[in-house]
Structure 1
């Protein structure tokens, strides 16, 4: 089995404007989806939701605040799953609730050096 990182991107500023009922419904969809992965013993790390603020460091020690909320799509969270192949990881990613808010999932194999 290999480890794959699933990175979730979406317009989380717009997402946060939803009603409390909509947010609760979406949270349940996320928990059900992640619970389904765990039930298959394929969840390696439950990951976390990421805050919108942070810092970006570029070469030359240039440090800026960011990523900025004005960016249409930002990284909002991640999980790590264990699957036999990137195809299987992609199949799991297809069930992610982020698509319901116009988001995307990036699937990346974690390379153990």
Structure 2
């Protein structure tokens, strides 16, 4: 088994239009999906990310407010899941509640070892 990173992009604009009750219901969908991954022993870690941040360049010589990207490109959260290979990790990602919002994407990347 390997670990894979899911980067969640988009959906914030549509999510923010929901009523408080709708937001809570959608968060329950996330909790159920992530709970299932936990029960399967697949969920390693994962959290939403704050909207504010900084972009650091040139070893800190340039620091700007960020993220500066189009709404559908902003990374809003991540999960780390265990899967046998990239194909299985992609298949697991298809159940992600982020797809309830048009224009949302999940980038799936294998987490590589630094062992040499």
Do both share a fold (TM > 0.5)?
Answer: yes
The 2-side partners of 1:49 and 1:23 are apart by 14
Q: Following TM superposition, by how much is the alpha carbon of 1:72 offset from its aligned partner in structure 2, in angstroms?
A: 1.9
User: Greater share of helix residues, 1 or 2?
Assistant: 2
Q: Is the 2:7–2:108 contact (alpha carbons within 8 Å) kept by the matching residues of 1?
A: yes
Q: Which secondary structure does the structure 2 equivalent of 1:37 belong to? A: helix
Q: Is the 2:11–2:98 contact (alpha carbons within 8 Å) kept by the matching residues of 1?
A: no
Q: Which runs of 5+ in 1 are unaligned?
A: none
**Number of residue pairs the alignment of both structures matches:** 111
Q: Which secondary structure does the structure 1 equivalent of 2:25 belong to? A: helix
1:7 maps onto 2:7 in alignment: yes
Q: Which secondary structure does the structure 2 equivalent of 1:18 belong to? A: coil
1:111 maps onto 2:112 in alignment: yes
Q: Following TM superposition, by how much is the alpha carbon of 1:17 offset from its aligned partner in structure 2, in angstroms?
A: 2.5
TM-score normalised by L of structure 1: 0.90
Q: Which secondary structure does the structure 1 equivalent of 2:71 belong to? A: coil
Question: RMSD value over aligned CA atoms?
Answer: 1.5
TM-score normalised by L of structure 2: 0.88
Paired position in structure 2 for 1:72 = 71
The 2-side partners of 1:65 and 1:101 are apart by 27
Summarize deviations over 1:65-107 as a string: whole Å, max 9, x none. Answer: 0114x72221111110111001110011000010111211010
Q: Which runs of 5+ in 2 are unaligned?
A: none
The 2-side partners of 1:41 and 1:62 are apart by 41
